[in-house]
Structure 1
Amino acid sequence: MIILNQRQQELLGMVQREGHVTVEALANHFGVTHQTIRRDITLLADNRLLQRIHGGASAQSSVENVAYNTRQVMCIDEKRRIAKLVAEQIPNHASLFINLGTTTEEVAKALHNHHGLHVITNNLNVAAMMCNYPDCEVIVASGVMRPRDMGIIGESTIEFIRKFKVDYGIIGISSIETDGTLRDYDMREVRTSDAIINQSRNVFLVADHSKFGRPSMVELGPLSRVTALFTDQAPPEEMAAVIKEAHVELYIAP
């Protein structure tokens, strides 16, 4: 499992946002040598987090996500801060969906002191965590299990979700484009998230800053479909008007 230092995380975020960055620009930005930046790029490329090109680095493919065990440790402090803020907005005795993703799993951890929750999830990691919480009922969706992240997906998962109407839907996402379009990598995941949005009275989207402007292939819909966006940094300036027009509440974790 790769653990990135702060510079490597920021470097990865810059490449994801800008699409392509030169070694020289990165070295100037971080105040380190070209050799240090090349080592960082090699490490990130070897772990399929970006693509090494002549003179710099470019964003990873828009059709394939980063490996699950790598995502577990990427921006982990940011995800935990986001999760704590989300947990503060969830009352006891609430009903909620929690979908796939490493940030939603951190939300599940942050809810450990809540009582009387009714949780429907297609994430077996979340189910295993929350089944021991005080007076917490966990309902696991039916479907096909995906071994790499213990997620449950498929047509039966969508049909199962449609049987419920809950107070809060907690969803993650792989990409938020500057125009507010939400995107992910897997059509089956997107269809499941779509069902969760439709069956939730309030939709909380959890996304750390690395998700802004990141390339991803499958469209989930506009940002206006969610009630609130929880993140760790102010979104890019060009997104401010989009968030306001979408009437989405913005929460930035301290």
Structure 2
Amino acid sequence: MMNDLRVDVLANLVKHHRRISLTAAADILGMGFDELTVLAQALSVREDYELFENSICYLLPQSQDSYRVRLRTHYIEKYAIGRLAASFFKKGDHAIVESGSTMTILAQHLAQVEQIKVSTNSYAVASMIIGAETAADVHVVGGNLYADGQGSLGPIALAAVEGLEADWGVISPVGLSVDGELMYYVEEEAKFAQAIMASCKRTMFLCDSSKFGVPSRYFAGTCAQADMLIVDSGVEQSILANLITKGLKEVHVADVDAEASSEIVLLDL
């Protein structure tokens, strides 16, 4: 009975975080790694949980945290991913960027790309780039403005994106399932991501490690449809190898430990 209660405690922790490393879970619960691993193995028998090498995830879709919370959650990982992603853009490239906390953090780096042109449905992304006072060309996609950082969506936004021909599409799904499915919690966001992928020569998707193995409600595509994944170094290599077998073309890993805190500016939008 006592062991069942401890598994329930771990279950609630995993459900809260959606995906958590066994090391972090052991630290939070104040127990040894081996002891936590035994509990994780017992939890993975339950239908709604899946155990990886050093992490465990909750498989049922959950509502997203607020935009302000997401902007500060896994910030260093998103910053490292954004910096690496921006390095693939060349002078004068045109990118279509969706809304979201990861995209807002990416915008800090995109603003430094010479003569970059950005089309986005996110006012936060546009504001970040314009505020950098560089020579970037920013086009804001109109449509129905959704609350909580979701940007402009709906038929007008879709039509605007479908009329663009960009060098890069940049998306950041809510979750990436174990089968390589790009998932969103809001249907309109999934449709917008699909439109971006259809309108661009190449697509990169950005996912911090907390999103791996975590499904959501609406399917936007598969990792095989994208040209490049950029992730932080917190993802197990076996997970990345599995995505390659699913058709993922390129994987680039951002080294979180290499980020100097003095270079990072927390956003307050």
- Rate the CA distance shift 1:17–1:146 in 2: closer, same or farther, 3 A: same
- Rate the CA distance shift 1:252–1:62 in 2: closer, same or farther, 3 A: same
Q: Which residue does 2:126 correspond to in 1?
A: 127
Q: Which amino acid aligns with 1:16?
A: R
Q: CA RMSD, aligned part only?
A: 2.7
- Rate the CA distance shift 1:63–1:75 in 2: closer, same or farther, 3 A: closer
Q: Which residue does 2:160 correspond to in 1?
A: 160
Cα offset, 1:241, TM superposition? 3.0
8 A Cα contact 1:173 1:207, kept in partner: yes
User: Normalising to structure 2: TM-score of the pair?
Assistant: 0.73
Cα offset, 1:244, TM superposition? 4.1
Once the two structures are superposed, residues 194-252 of structure 1 have per-residue CA deviations (whole angstroms, 9 ceiling, x without a partner) of 00001111111001000001131111121111110000023462451332441421010
What are the equivalent positions in structure 2 for 1:44-55 lying under 5 Å apart? none
Q: Secondary structure at the match of 1:206?
A: strand
8 A Cα contact 1:194 1:220, kept in partner: yes
Q: Which residue does 2:252 correspond to in 1?
A: 251
User: Normalising to structure 1: TM-score of the pair?
Assistant: 0.77
2: distance between equivalents of 1:29 and 1:15? Answer: 14
8 A Cα contact 1:27 1:33, kept in partner: no
Q: Which residue does 1:17 correspond to in 2?
A: 19
Q: Secondary structure at the match of 1:89?
A: coil
Q: Which residue does 2:89 correspond to in 1?
A: 90
Q: Which amino acid aligns with 1:252?
A: V
Once the two structures are superposed, residues 139-187 of structure 1 have per-residue CA deviations (whole angstroms, 9 ceiling, x without a partner) of 1111011132161111110001011110011111111111111111011
Cα offset, 1:17, TM superposition? 3.4
Once the two structures are superposed, residues 55-85 of structure 1 have per-residue CA deviations (whole angstroms, 9 ceiling, x without a partner) of xxx9496152111111011000000000010
Once the two structures are superposed, residues 122-146 of structure 1 have per-residue CA deviations (whole angstroms, 9 ceiling, x without a partner) of 0000111212442211111110111
- Rate the CA distance shift 1:242–1:119 in 2: closer, same or farther, 3 A: same
What are the equivalent positions in structure 2 for 1:190-229 lying under 5 Å apart? 190-229=190-229
8 A Cα contact 2:100 2:150, kept in partner: no
8 A Cα contact 1:230 1:251, kept in partner: yes
1: distance between equivalents of 2:73 and 2:58? Answer: 16
Q: Which amino acid aligns with 2:249?
A: V
8 A Cα contact 1:125 1:150, kept in partner: no
2: distance between equivalents of 1:235 and 1:172? Answer: 19
Percent identity, aligned pairs only?
23
Q: Which amino acid aligns with 2:129?
A: M
- Rate the CA distance shift 1:235–1:122 in 2: closer, same or farther, 3 A: farther
1:30 is aligned to 2:31: no
1: distance between equivalents of 2:130 and 2:102? Answer: 18
- Rate the CA distance shift 1:238–1:119 in 2: closer, same or farther, 3 A: closer
2: distance between equivalents of 1:253 and 1:247? Answer: 17
8 A Cα contact 1:175 1:215, kept in partner: yes
Q: Structure 2 unaligned segments of length 5 or more: list them.
A: 1-12, 32-56, 256-269
2: distance between equivalents of 1:235 and 1:14? Answer: 21
Q: How many residues in Structure 1 have an aligned counterpart in Structure 2?
A: 217
8 A Cα contact 1:175 1:211, kept in partner: yes
1: distance between equivalents of 2:134 and 2:60? Answer: 42
What are the equivalent positions in structure 2 for 1:51-90 lying under 5 Å apart? 59=58, 62-90=61-89
Q: Which residue does 1:104 correspond to in 2?
A: 103
Q: Secondary structure at the match of 2:138?
A: strand
1: distance between equivalents of 2:197 and 2:81? Answer: 20
- Rate the CA distance shift 1:12–1:113 in 2: closer, same or farther, 3 A: farther
